């Protein structure tokens, strides 16, 4: 996939993700059970956070830096904790901002390396698609 195809796939998956979470009534966004222990709000921030991570990761890859392995579960726990202190509108705005950073970082790459491709696909459109399906299953839509 070339850069434009990646961006198009990301955009389509994001729009489907937005459709999935927009179908959740306001009073059910904080209801646990979309995935064990997580709410729709948690999943939206989770995806938004990781889109921002991709922006950082792609910038490091562009500078020739190596990505370090992380305590992914620990990071996810912290992300969810932080998101629970955020208002819904703040999560939406910050998630949109983070995905735009990821898209800009992809566009800025001189070459989309295998590592960049893996980071971008895994934390954007594949991630959105996975969690959109879980939200749709939760709401029965």
For the segment 95-118, what is each residue's pLDDT rounded down to a tens digit? 999 999 999 999 999 999 999 999
d(CA 27, CA 45): 17
pLDDT tens for 23-63 read 999 999 999 999 999 999 999 999 999 999 999 999 999 99
In a domain, 28, yes or no: no
Per the structure, how many domains does the chain have? 1
In a domain, 33, yes or no: no
In a domain, 29, yes or no: no
In a domain, 25, yes or no: no
In a domain, 16, yes or no: no
In a domain, 87, yes or no: yes
Q: What is the CA radius of gyration of the chain?
A: 15
What pLDDT is recorded for position 141?
Answer: 76
In a domain, 82, yes or no: yes
What pLDDT is recorded for position 119?
Answer: 94
In a domain, 23, yes or no: no
Structural domain for 49, as ranges? 40-139
pTM for the model stands at 0.94
């Amino acid at each position: 996939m070339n850069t434009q195809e990646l961006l198009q796939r990301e955009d389509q998956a994001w729009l489907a993700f937005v459709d999935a979470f927009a179908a959740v009534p306001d009073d059910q966004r904080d209801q646990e059970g979309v995935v064990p222990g997580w709410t729709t709000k948690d999943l939206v921030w989770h995806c938004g956070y990781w889109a921002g991570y991709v922006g950082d990761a792609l910038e490091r890859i562009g500078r020739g830096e190596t990505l370090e392995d992380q305590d992914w579960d620990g990071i996810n726990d912290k992300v969810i904790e932080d998101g629970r202190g955020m208002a819904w509108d703040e999560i939406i705005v910050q998630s949109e901002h983070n995905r735009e950073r990821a898209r800009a970082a992809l566009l800025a790459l001189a070459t989309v390396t295998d590592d960049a491709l893996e980071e971008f696909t895994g934390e954007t459109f594949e991630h959105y698609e996975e969690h959109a399906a879980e939200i749709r299953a939760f709401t029965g839509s």
